[in-house]
Amino acid sequence: MDSEKLFWEASVDEIIQGYKDDYEKEEFICLICGESFTKGVIYKNGDVFLEAKRAIEHHITAEHNSMFDYLINMDKKYTGLTEHQKKLLTAFKSGLSDKEIVELEGEGSTSTIRNHRFKLKEREKQSKVFLAIMQSMTLKEDLINIHRGAKMVDERYVITEEESEKILKSYFKDCKLKTFPAGEKKKIVILKEIIGSFDVNKKYTEKEVNEILKDIFDDFVTIRRYLIEYGFMEREKDCSRYWVKR
Nearest to 2 by CA among 231, 227, 192: 192
Helix axes 184-194, 161-171, angle to 10 degrees: 80
Cα 176 to chain centroid, rounded: 27
DSSP type of residue 160? B
Q: How many CB atoms lie within 10 A of CB 149?
A: 18
pTM for the predicted model, two decimal places: 0.61
Nearest to 210 by CA among 242, 173, 170: 242
Q: Which helix (H) or strand (E) holds 189?
A: helix 184-194
Mean pLDDT of 235-244: 92
- Residue pLDDT, tens place only, 103-136: 988 888 999 999 999 999 999 999 999 988 887 8
Q: Residue 137 has what pLDDT?
A: 74
Q: For residue 50, what are the β-bridge partners?
A: 43
Q: Is the pLDDT of residue 154 over 90?
A: no
Angle (CA) 70-74-76 rounded to 5° is 155
Indicate the SS3 state at residue 238: coil
Angle (CA) 57-135-3 rounded to 5° is 35
Q: Residue 138 has what pLDDT?
A: 63
- Residue pLDDT, tens place only, 27-84: 999 999 889 999 999 999 999 999 999 999 999 999 999 999 999 999 888 899 999 9
Per-residue DSSP letters for 78-146? Answer: HH---HHHHHHHHHHHTT--HHHHHHHHTSS-HHHHHHHHHHHHHHHHHHHHHHHHHHTS--SS-BPPP
Q: Residue 157 has what pLDDT?
A: 64
